[in-house]
Amino acid sequence: MVVSDRTARQARPDITANKKRNILLITTDQMRFDALACNGGKVARTPTIDGLASTGLNYVRAHNQNVVCMPARATIITGQHVASHGVWMNGVALPEDKPTIAHHLQDHGYQTALLGKAHFEPWLGSADDFYENRMASLNQTGPHRGFHHMELANHFFEGHSHYDLWMNEHPHEKALFYPMITRQGQNTIGTGDTNACQVWPMDIPLSLYHTQWVADRTVKWLENQQSSKDPWFCWMSFPDPHHPWDVPQSELPRVSWRSLELPERYCDDKAAGQVLGQKPKHWLGYYKGSIWTNLESPREFIPANMTPDQVREINAMTHIENELIDEACAGVLAYLKANGSYDNTDIFFTSDHGELQGDFGLMFKGPYHVDALMHVPLIWRPANTSGIQPDEIRDPVGHLDLAATFCEIAGIDIPDYVEGEPLPDSQATATEQNRTQVFTQWDSQHGGIDLHLRSVYHRDGWLYTQYDPGSLYQGTEGELYNMNADPQQYHNLWDDPGQEEIKHHFKTVIETTLPELTEPLLPRKAPV
């Protein structure tokens, strides 16, 4: 939500009486809203994160502003829509001279750190081009992008993260991880019970898994802040539950894939034809393997060939990874409580985007603006010193609003470049702010296919997505769902003659509110 009234962008006095409050931002990669028990999840046990929700603010209609990593993360760190920060698709780096909210906090006395996955630069990019990809080999930890300290980890051993080099001390276990994608067809392999794509249990101890490494490095950095009187902003960024689903074998008993039900939105071949046939053609094209629109799923992966048991096994691995994240968070929060920092620390939990996870018979992610990918968990457990009471916020908010909220906590003005506004601290505040809508957009170019989607979700339950002109679409196509009547997003009302007025309304809202991409676009220097 864009705010132009400068007076509305100053910190609320009742929130900022203590300007030394710390900020812990916890993110995951590719976690759905409904992964957590507090958001209706029925499988993974997530008591730590659920506890943050029950003692804080749970935003039950939070959306990202893009459904893949790099644009979504750029929005979190800048507080800007995609067109404003310029990271229009994966593989496009956030310019190094771009101001971030970490810079702003640093300028106002905060110690800043990022531990885990950054992905502001392409992780398949050359180390010569991108500092993120060479800092570990240089034995450096920053400063970079406003962070005094960075220690990086990723899903694969690409040769340049701090975790990657740390694992060189454990060569036997390192060799057991999912292989880096080097050959056509290799990225669909799996060694689980069902041979599901990228399911890869490993005989390694949990202590060497990247989830635990990220938590351990976070605690280590926090220990180093004990002697400082400065407040801190720490981003703990887990690479999971992103594929590959390569959990330690010791954790497999947590969730039996054989006991899982198929997802509520799962479609078999017949249902997929009926449901996806109502949507623009790249949906059914992806299902059948005839239209490949992005690198967010393996080129050789054909969802129509995926068996129900493979869906179950992939989902079991995802639930296990989510449980491991929850337990890693518990360790970090226990440290904060033990050293007396917990009461004065604001804790945020969110994910950059979701996962299709069997919905509509599909897996992975891409240009599909549905709840599985856009609707993300967002929890704010305010510091006990803030006086903010627990609540559930039902009106729409976005990642766009995090940067402004951090400023409010710090008691500093919000920079002019930030396009969001502070998150409401109660449902009553959300109503006062007139939180009516949130935007998500997609742009991509892969081979000869380019796609451009603009979506707005309205608090009345409407989800509108227009397809701008590209190689597949003329600009007259789109999707429209009444999610109160059709929460599954099965029935596309775009061609319903009775919906022309509401379509015109939302088209006008997007054209007058959402910033537009401008030429020249930032260059894409790597696949992802």
* Structural contact between residues 339 and 52, judged by C-beta atoms closer than 8 angstroms: no
Q: How far apart are CA 58 and CA 458, in angstroms?
A: 18
How many CB atoms lie under 10 A from the CB of residue 182? 7
DSSP 196: -
pLDDT of residue 17: 43
Whether residue 143 is preceded by a cis peptide bond, meaning omega within 30 degrees of 0, is: yes
Displacement of CA 477 from its chain's centroid (Å): 27
Q: Which fold has domain 22-271+307-433?
A: Alkaline Phosphatase, subunit A (3.40.720)
pLDDT of residue 295: 83
* End-to-end Cα, the chain, rounded Å: 28
DSSP string, 156-219: S--S-SHHHHHGGG-HHHHTTSPPP--STTGGG---STT--TTB--B---GGGSHHHHHHHHHH
pLDDT of residue 4: 33
pLDDT of residue 184: 56
pLDDT of residue 19: 52
Residue 288, class by beta-carbon neighbours within 10 Å (0-12 exposed, 13-18 middle, 19+ buried)?
middle
Identity of the amino acid at 80: Q
pLDDT of residue 232: 98
Under-50 pLDDT residues of the chain: 1-8, 11-18
Match 């880096």 to its residue by tokens: 180
DSSP 69: H
Bridge partner residues of 63 (DSSP)? 375, 398
Residue closest to 74 by CA, chosen among 107, 110, 122, 116: 122
* Structural contact between residues 63 and 457, judged by C-beta atoms closer than 8 angstroms: yes
Match 């790597």 to its residue by tokens: 526
Q: How far apart are CA 232 and CA 222, in angstroms?
A: 9
- Residue 241 backbone dihedrals phi, psi, to 5 degrees: -90, 30
